[in-house]
Chains A and B, each alone.
Chain A
């Protein structure tokens, strides 16, 4: 009897370890998480606008239907990225996520304080390699450090009422994300 109780106790303890292990491993193995879903529809390093969520179809669950949204799935292995988002009338925000769907930074139109949200996205390593003089000339530029090489940027504009949705859509559609070198060449 005692023997079985001990086995039960041992099994339960082992179960605790199984539980913690599965919780920690799950995000690494998920194939239906937001980043995987977006990977299948969005090419890398370009802005793709997402269709409005409807009852029949939604790219991700729990999307806010009052927003027009676009995403830029980025890969910094070839160098830093430059992001430009024009501000729409009501509320515009840009949120940064790792490839495990963890938000690490967000900025909105008011905290940007300009007509457009402009920033440079790079890894900590790339930030460290940046020549110092360039850092000084770009003092008014906002630099965001990505903790991961790959990730996704969500660009969202609010339509306070449905009539303003086309305007919000135009704002997110006009967002650009591209490699910094390419952006320089274009200027």
Chain B
């Protein structure tokens, strides 16, 4: 009897630990080889055949096709530079310059990776669309309210993800964190 209870106990612990860890891994971006610059994180290896099992599981679960490394590289941000979660009810500004690439795009998704409906049907900016300052830097305001300049509407969703994608770029697996890759800052300006 004791043996039976003991076995059941151990198996229950195994199931809870194993499945719990798998669930956590799939919902928390745990793939190896992350490249973190400020608020931005990229997994360049996810777009190659060297994608690790965690990256493969995440690709299968979400149902997306990762951007191949020879095509481009994706950086994602769920928080601002201070680690505060991006909130669609706040005004968030993205300011600065980007690493060298032929084109880049900045897109806002909800947590499911879907575009967010808004009054002006703007879901992204491309490097060509964005209005720049005299020195070549840019400022994009991510906000639920209409803004002058480069306004990326949030549609008021509570949480969102920003994806900054660089196409035809040297940024990739060999890129180290630090100064060689200038990324725009993400700052929460004001919350209602």
B56 A107 Cβ-Cβ under 8 A:
no
B107 close to A60 (CB less than 8 A): no
Chain A residues with CB under 8 Å of B116's CB are 55
> Is the C-beta of A161 less than 8 angstroms from some C-beta in chain B?
yes
Structural contact, B64 and A14, CB atoms closer than 8 A: no
Q: How far is the CB of B27 from chain A (nearest CB, A)?
A: 13
Least distance between A33 CB and chain B CB atoms (Å):
4
Q: Cα distance A96–B19 when bound, in Å?
A: 32
Tell whether B135 is near chain A: CB-to-CB under 8 Å.
no
Give the number of chain B interface residues (Cβ < 8 Å): 60
Measured CA separation A110–B69 after assembly (Å): 15
Given contacts A26-B61, A61-B64, A64-B105, contact A100 B56 (CB under 8 A): yes
**A142 adjacent to chain B (CB < 8 Å):** no
A33 with B59: in contact, given A15-B17, A19-B18, A55-B117 (CB under 8 Å)? Answer: yes
Smallest beta-carbon distance B136→chain A, Å:
17
- From B34-42, B43-51, B79-87, B178-186, the one touching the partner chain is B43-51
Known: A19-B21, A58-B114. A103 touches B102 (CB 8 A): no
Say yes or no for B60: interface residue by CB 8 A criterion: yes
Is B57 an interface residue when CB atoms closer than 8 A count as contact?
Answer: yes
**Given that A18-B19, A66-B126 are known contacts, is A11 also in contact with B9, CB under 8 Å in the complex?**
yes
Distance (Å) between the CB of A186 and the closest chain B CB?
29
Is the CB of B13 closer than 8 A to any CB of chain A?
Answer: yes
Q: Is B62 an interface residue (CB 8 A)?
A: yes
**Majority DSSP secondary structure for residues of A touching B:** mixed
Please give, as numbers and ranges, the residues of chain A lying within 8 Å of B114 by CB-CB distance.
55, 58, 61
Asked if A3 contacts B6 (CB within 8 A), the reply is yes
User: Which A residues, 1 to 51, have Cβ-Cβ distances below 8 Å to chain B?
Assistant: 3-4, 7-8, 10-24, 26-27, 30, 32-34, 36-37
Residue count of chain A within 8 Å CB distance of chain B: 64
Asked if A78 lies at the interface with its beta carbon under 8 angstroms from chain B, I say no
List chain A residues, Cβ under 8 A from B171: none
Q: Are A105 and B68 in contact (CB under 8 A)?
A: yes
- Decide if A14 touches B163 in the complex (CB within 8 Å): no
CB pair A61–B112 under 8 Å, yes or no, is yes
- A79 interface residue (CB < 8 Å to B): no
Given contacts A30-B60, A55-B117, A108-B168, contact A23 B103 (CB under 8 A): no
Known contacts: A3-B6, A101-B59, A158-B167. The answer to whether A11 contacts B14 by CB under 8 A is yes
Given A62-B62, A66-B105, A102-B51, A7 and B10 contact (CB-CB distance below 8 Å): yes
**CB nearest to B51 among chain A residues:** A102
Is the CB of B33 closer than 8 A to any CB of chain A? no
Contact A16 B17 (CB under 8 A): yes
B interface list, Cβ under 8 A from A: 6, 9-22, 25-26, 47-49, 51, 53-54, 56-57, 59-72, 102-103, 105, 107, 109, 112-117, 123-124, 126-129, 163, 165, 167-168
Complex A-B: 28 CB contacts under 8 Å: A11-B9, A11-B10, A11-B11, A11-B12, A11-B13, A14-B13, A15-B21, A19-B25, A21-B18, A26-B60, A30-B63, A32-B63, A33-B60, A54-B115, A60-B63, A61-B62, A63-B64, A64-B124, A100-B56, A106-B68, A108-B167, A108-B168, A111-B70, A152-B65, A158-B105, A160-B103, A160-B127, A160-B129
Closest 8 CB pairs of A and B: A18-B18, A15-B17, A11-B13, A61-B113, A106-B70, A106-B68, A103-B68, A14-B14
